[in-house]
Amino acid sequence: MAEITLTAPRRWRMRNLLLEPKVLLGGGFILLLIVLALFAPWIAPKDPLEQDLMLGTLPPAGFAGAEPGYYLGTDDLGRDVLSRVIYGSRIALIVAFVAASLAAILGTALGLAAGWYGGWVDMIVSRLVDIWMAFPPVLLSILLVAILGSGVHSVIAAIVIIDWTRFCRVVRAETMAQASMDYVTAARTIGFPRLTILLREILPNVAPVLMALVSLEMGIAVIVEAILSFVGLSVSSDTPTWGGMIAQGGQIVHHGWWVLAFPLFMLFATVLAFNQFGDGLRRALDPVMQR
Protein backbone atom coordinates (compact mmCIF):
# COMPACT_ATOMS: atom_id res chain seq x y z
CA MET A 1 0.00 0.00 0.00
CA ALA A 2 1.30 3.39 -0.90
CA GLU A 3 2.33 5.54 2.00
CA ILE A 4 -0.03 8.42 2.77
CA THR A 5 1.64 11.81 3.16
CA LEU A 6 -0.25 13.98 5.62
CA THR A 7 1.71 17.16 5.54
CA ALA A 8 1.55 19.73 2.77
CA PRO A 9 4.75 20.33 0.76
CA ARG A 10 7.24 22.41 2.76
CA ARG A 11 10.00 23.68 0.51
CA TRP A 12 11.87 25.67 3.09
CA ARG A 13 15.30 25.54 1.55
CA MET A 14 18.22 27.68 2.47
CA ARG A 15 18.86 28.10 -1.24
CA ASN A 16 15.62 30.04 -1.63
CA LEU A 17 16.66 32.44 1.11
CA LEU A 18 20.12 32.98 -0.32
CA LEU A 19 18.69 33.69 -3.77
CA GLU A 20 16.25 36.30 -2.48
CA PRO A 21 17.84 39.81 -2.73
CA LYS A 22 15.51 41.34 -0.15
CA VAL A 23 16.52 38.74 2.42
CA LEU A 24 20.20 39.35 1.76
CA LEU A 25 20.02 43.14 1.85
CA GLY A 26 17.52 43.50 4.69
CA GLY A 27 19.03 40.68 6.72
CA GLY A 28 22.55 42.01 6.18
CA PHE A 29 21.61 45.43 7.52
CA ILE A 30 19.80 43.90 10.51
CA LEU A 31 22.84 41.73 11.22
CA LEU A 32 25.03 44.84 11.11
CA LEU A 33 22.73 46.53 13.64
CA ILE A 34 22.93 43.50 15.92
CA VAL A 35 26.73 43.61 15.81
CA LEU A 36 26.71 47.35 16.58
CA ALA A 37 24.34 46.82 19.50
CA LEU A 38 26.24 43.89 20.99
CA PHE A 39 29.69 45.42 20.66
CA ALA A 40 28.76 49.07 21.18
CA PRO A 41 31.28 49.61 24.04
CA TRP A 42 34.10 48.55 21.73
CA ILE A 43 32.82 50.09 18.48
CA ALA A 44 31.63 53.49 19.72
CA PRO A 45 34.54 55.97 19.63
CA LYS A 46 33.32 57.99 22.64
CA ASP A 47 31.23 57.69 25.77
CA PRO A 48 27.68 58.51 24.57
CA LEU A 49 26.92 60.33 27.85
CA GLU A 50 30.13 62.39 28.08
CA GLN A 51 29.40 66.10 27.78
CA ASP A 52 31.73 68.92 26.80
CA LEU A 53 30.01 72.25 26.23
CA MET A 54 33.16 73.61 24.62
CA LEU A 55 32.63 71.09 21.80
CA GLY A 56 28.90 71.71 21.33
CA THR A 57 27.39 71.33 17.83
CA LEU A 58 30.60 70.39 16.08
CA PRO A 59 29.91 69.50 12.42
CA PRO A 60 30.68 66.03 11.00
CA ALA A 61 34.08 65.17 9.59
CA GLY A 62 34.77 66.88 6.29
CA PHE A 63 32.90 70.08 7.17
CA ALA A 64 34.52 73.33 8.25
CA GLY A 65 35.05 73.45 11.99
CA ALA A 66 35.07 69.67 12.50
CA GLU A 67 37.26 68.14 15.21
CA PRO A 68 39.26 64.90 14.82
CA GLY A 69 37.54 61.88 16.38
CA TYR A 70 33.99 63.25 16.06
CA TYR A 71 33.05 61.63 12.77
CA LEU A 72 29.33 62.57 12.86
CA GLY A 73 29.78 65.72 14.90
CA THR A 74 28.36 66.50 18.35
CA ASP A 75 25.05 67.69 19.76
CA ASP A 76 24.46 70.93 21.65
CA LEU A 77 25.86 69.34 24.84
CA GLY A 78 29.06 68.19 23.15
CA ARG A 79 28.11 64.50 23.08
CA ASP A 80 29.39 62.40 20.20
CA VAL A 81 26.56 61.77 17.71
CA LEU A 82 28.08 58.60 16.26
CA SER A 83 28.42 56.99 19.68
CA ARG A 84 24.86 57.92 20.59
CA VAL A 85 23.52 56.51 17.30
CA ILE A 86 25.37 53.23 17.92
CA TYR A 87 24.10 52.92 21.51
CA GLY A 88 20.62 53.90 20.35
CA SER A 89 20.47 50.75 18.26
CA ARG A 90 20.41 48.74 21.49
CA ILE A 91 17.07 50.10 22.66
CA ALA A 92 15.59 49.87 19.16
CA LEU A 93 16.55 46.21 18.73
CA ILE A 94 15.55 45.16 22.25
CA VAL A 95 12.09 46.62 21.78
CA ALA A 96 11.82 45.24 18.24
CA PHE A 97 12.74 41.64 19.02
CA VAL A 98 11.07 41.27 22.42
CA ALA A 99 7.84 43.14 21.64
CA ALA A 100 7.36 41.48 18.23
CA SER A 101 8.03 38.01 19.67
CA LEU A 102 5.58 38.41 22.56
CA ALA A 103 2.90 39.93 20.32
CA ALA A 104 3.39 37.04 17.87
CA ILE A 105 3.03 34.41 20.59
CA LEU A 106 -0.15 35.93 21.99
CA GLY A 107 -1.74 36.70 18.62
CA THR A 108 -0.79 33.36 17.09
CA ALA A 109 -2.23 31.36 19.99
CA LEU A 110 -5.56 33.18 19.79
CA GLY A 111 -5.61 33.14 15.98
CA LEU A 112 -4.96 29.39 15.82
CA ALA A 113 -7.69 28.70 18.37
CA ALA A 114 -10.21 30.93 16.59
CA GLY A 115 -9.47 29.60 13.10
CA TRP A 116 -9.33 25.93 14.05
CA TYR A 117 -12.05 25.47 16.65
CA GLY A 118 -14.47 28.12 15.34
CA GLY A 119 -17.83 28.50 17.05
CA TRP A 120 -17.93 30.48 20.26
CA VAL A 121 -14.12 30.57 20.43
CA ASP A 122 -13.94 32.33 17.08
CA MET A 123 -16.79 34.66 18.00
CA ILE A 124 -15.16 35.81 21.25
CA VAL A 125 -11.71 36.28 19.71
CA SER A 126 -13.08 38.09 16.66
CA ARG A 127 -15.15 40.49 18.76
CA LEU A 128 -12.15 41.15 20.97
CA VAL A 129 -10.03 41.97 17.92
CA ASP A 130 -12.71 44.30 16.55
CA ILE A 131 -12.92 46.18 19.84
CA TRP A 132 -9.13 46.43 20.15
CA MET A 133 -8.68 47.73 16.62
CA ALA A 134 -11.27 50.46 17.14
CA PHE A 135 -8.70 52.44 19.16
CA PRO A 136 -6.00 54.50 17.36
CA PRO A 137 -2.80 52.49 17.97
CA VAL A 138 -0.39 55.41 18.50
CA LEU A 139 -2.69 57.24 20.91
CA LEU A 140 -3.42 54.01 22.77
CA SER A 141 0.30 53.25 23.11
CA ILE A 142 0.97 56.72 24.50
CA LEU A 143 -1.90 56.30 26.96
CA LEU A 144 -0.68 52.87 28.08
CA VAL A 145 2.90 54.05 28.62
CA ALA A 146 1.64 57.09 30.51
CA ILE A 147 -0.32 54.75 32.79
CA LEU A 148 2.39 52.09 33.16
CA GLY A 149 5.21 54.60 33.53
CA SER A 150 8.27 55.22 31.37
CA GLY A 151 10.82 52.52 30.66
CA VAL A 152 11.63 49.80 28.15
CA HIS A 153 9.31 47.31 29.87
CA SER A 154 6.37 49.69 29.57
CA VAL A 155 7.08 50.34 25.88
CA ILE A 156 7.26 46.60 25.17
CA ALA A 157 4.06 45.94 27.13
CA ALA A 158 2.23 48.69 25.25
CA ILE A 159 3.29 47.32 21.85
CA VAL A 160 2.29 43.76 22.79
CA ILE A 161 -1.10 44.85 24.13
CA ILE A 162 -1.83 46.79 20.94
CA ASP A 163 -0.29 44.76 18.12
CA TRP A 164 -1.27 41.18 19.00
CA THR A 165 -4.34 41.78 16.84
CA ARG A 166 -2.20 41.95 13.67
CA PHE A 167 -1.03 38.38 14.21
CA CYS A 168 -4.40 37.13 15.38
CA ARG A 169 -6.26 38.23 12.25
CA VAL A 170 -3.69 36.89 9.79
CA VAL A 171 -3.13 33.58 11.59
CA ARG A 172 -6.88 33.04 11.97
CA ALA A 173 -7.42 33.50 8.23
CA GLU A 174 -4.47 31.26 7.32
CA THR A 175 -5.61 28.58 9.76
CA MET A 176 -9.10 28.52 8.27
CA ALA A 177 -7.60 28.23 4.79
CA GLN A 178 -5.28 25.38 5.80
CA ALA A 179 -8.10 23.57 7.61
CA SER A 180 -9.86 23.01 4.28
CA MET A 181 -6.81 21.43 2.63
CA ASP A 182 -6.68 17.74 1.67
CA TYR A 183 -3.85 16.86 4.05
CA VAL A 184 -5.93 18.07 7.02
CA THR A 185 -8.91 16.05 5.81
CA ALA A 186 -6.67 12.98 5.56
CA ALA A 187 -5.38 13.51 9.08
CA ARG A 188 -8.91 13.82 10.40
CA THR A 189 -9.97 10.64 8.57
CA ILE A 190 -7.11 8.66 10.09
CA GLY A 191 -8.19 9.85 13.52
CA PHE A 192 -5.43 12.21 14.60
CA PRO A 193 -6.40 14.36 17.63
CA ARG A 194 -7.46 17.90 16.70
CA LEU A 195 -4.71 19.50 18.76
CA THR A 196 -2.10 17.29 17.09
CA ILE A 197 -3.33 18.30 13.64
CA LEU A 198 -3.25 21.96 14.64
CA LEU A 199 0.28 21.93 16.03
CA ARG A 200 1.99 19.40 13.76
CA GLU A 201 0.22 19.93 10.44
CA ILE A 202 -1.34 23.40 10.27
CA LEU A 203 1.08 25.52 12.32
CA PRO A 204 4.18 24.64 10.23
CA ASN A 205 2.31 25.71 7.08
CA VAL A 206 1.23 28.97 8.69
CA ALA A 207 4.80 29.66 9.81
CA PRO A 208 6.06 31.31 6.55
CA VAL A 209 3.42 34.03 6.72
CA LEU A 210 3.98 34.33 10.47
CA MET A 211 7.73 34.80 10.08
CA ALA A 212 7.23 37.57 7.55
CA LEU A 213 4.68 39.24 9.81
CA VAL A 214 7.08 39.11 12.77
CA SER A 215 9.73 40.91 10.72
CA LEU A 216 7.25 43.59 9.69
CA GLU A 217 6.14 43.97 13.31
CA MET A 218 9.74 44.56 14.36
CA GLY A 219 9.86 47.56 12.05
CA ILE A 220 6.60 48.86 13.54
CA ALA A 221 7.98 48.36 17.06
CA VAL A 222 11.05 50.45 16.19
CA ILE A 223 8.79 53.27 14.99
CA VAL A 224 6.59 53.11 18.10
CA GLU A 225 9.61 53.21 20.40
CA ALA A 226 11.00 56.20 18.50
CA ILE A 227 7.66 58.01 18.79
CA LEU A 228 7.48 57.37 22.52
CA SER A 229 11.10 58.48 22.93
CA PHE A 230 10.33 61.58 20.90
CA VAL A 231 7.59 62.62 23.34
CA GLY A 232 9.64 61.60 26.38
CA LEU A 233 7.63 58.50 27.37
CA SER A 234 10.22 55.81 26.67
CA VAL A 235 13.46 55.33 28.62
CA SER A 236 15.10 58.05 30.70
CA SER A 237 16.50 61.05 28.88
CA ASP A 238 20.07 59.99 29.77
CA THR A 239 19.78 56.81 27.68
CA PRO A 240 20.61 57.33 23.97
CA THR A 241 17.63 56.58 21.74
CA TRP A 242 16.99 57.51 18.14
CA GLY A 243 13.66 59.11 18.98
CA GLY A 244 15.22 61.21 21.73
CA MET A 245 18.00 62.33 19.39
CA ILE A 246 15.44 63.28 16.75
CA ALA A 247 13.53 65.34 19.28
CA GLN A 248 16.72 67.07 20.40
CA GLY A 249 17.91 67.60 16.82
CA GLY A 250 14.63 69.21 15.84
CA GLN A 251 15.30 72.00 18.32
CA ILE A 252 18.71 72.86 16.87
CA VAL A 253 18.18 71.81 13.24
CA HIS A 254 19.12 75.25 11.87
CA HIS A 255 22.66 75.15 13.27
CA GLY A 256 23.08 71.42 13.95
CA TRP A 257 21.24 69.50 11.22
CA TRP A 258 23.42 66.41 11.73
CA VAL A 259 21.95 65.79 15.19
CA LEU A 260 18.59 65.21 13.50
CA ALA A 261 19.72 63.74 10.19
CA PHE A 262 21.77 60.72 11.30
CA PRO A 263 19.35 59.13 13.81
CA LEU A 264 16.51 59.85 11.39
CA PHE A 265 18.41 58.05 8.64
CA MET A 266 19.09 55.07 10.93
CA LEU A 267 15.42 54.90 11.89
CA PHE A 268 14.32 54.98 8.26
CA ALA A 269 16.95 52.42 7.16
CA THR A 270 16.12 50.04 10.02
CA VAL A 271 12.38 50.06 9.35
CA LEU A 272 13.02 49.61 5.62
CA ALA A 273 15.38 46.71 6.33
CA PHE A 274 12.82 44.90 8.50
CA ASN A 275 10.11 45.45 5.89
CA GLN A 276 12.28 44.21 3.03
CA PHE A 277 13.50 41.24 5.07
CA GLY A 278 9.91 40.27 5.92
CA ASP A 279 8.79 40.56 2.31
CA GLY A 280 11.79 38.51 1.20
CA LEU A 281 10.99 35.79 3.73
CA ARG A 282 7.43 35.62 2.49
CA ARG A 283 8.60 35.27 -1.12
CA ALA A 284 11.24 32.67 -0.30
CA LEU A 285 9.26 30.49 2.12
CA ASP A 286 5.70 30.68 0.85
CA PRO A 287 5.13 27.80 -1.61
CA VAL A 288 2.26 29.68 -3.29
CA MET A 289 4.53 32.59 -4.28
CA GLN A 290 7.17 30.20 -5.64
CA ARG A 291 4.85 28.89 -8.34
* Spacing of C-alpha 105 from chain mean position: 14
pLDDT of residue 288: 52
**Mean of the pLDDT values across residues 44-69?**
89
Give rounded-to-5 percent helix, strand, coil for the chain: 70, 0, 25
Mean pLDDT of the chain: 85
Q: How far apart are CA 281 and CA 273, in angstroms?
A: 12
Q: How far apart are CA 25 and CA 278, in angstroms?
A: 11
* Residue 260, C-beta contacts closer than 8 angstroms, at least 6 positions apart: 245, 246, 249, 250, 253
For the stretch 105-117, pLDDT in tens is 999 999 999 988 8
Could you tell me which residue, 146 or 122, shows the higher pLDDT? 122
Q: Is the pLDDT of residue 8 over 50?
A: no
For the chain, which domains are there? 16-39+72-290 (1.10.3720.10)
**Mean of the pLDDT values across residues 32-46?**
94
Q: Is the pLDDT of residue 4 over 50?
A: no
Cα atoms in the 13 Å half-sphere on the side-chain side of 254 = 1
**Type of residue numbered 90:** R
12 vs 18, 31, 156, 225, CA distance in Å? 12, 21, 31, 33
Three-state DSSP class for 66?
coil
Could you tell me which residue, 268 or 200, shows the higher pLDDT? 268
Please state which of the ranges 41-50, 97-106, 199-208, 213-222 shows the lowest mean pLDDT: 199-208
* Spacing of C-alpha 259 from chain mean position: 24
* Residue 33, C-beta contacts closer than 8 angstroms, at least 6 positions apart: 89, 92, 93, 270, 273
pLDDT of residue 235: 76
Q: How confident is the model at residue 101 (pLDDT cuts 50, 70, 90)?
A: very high
Q: How confident is the model at residue 1 (pLDDT cuts 50, 70, 90)?
A: very low
Q: How confident is the model at residue 7 (pLDDT cuts 50, 70, 90)?
A: very low
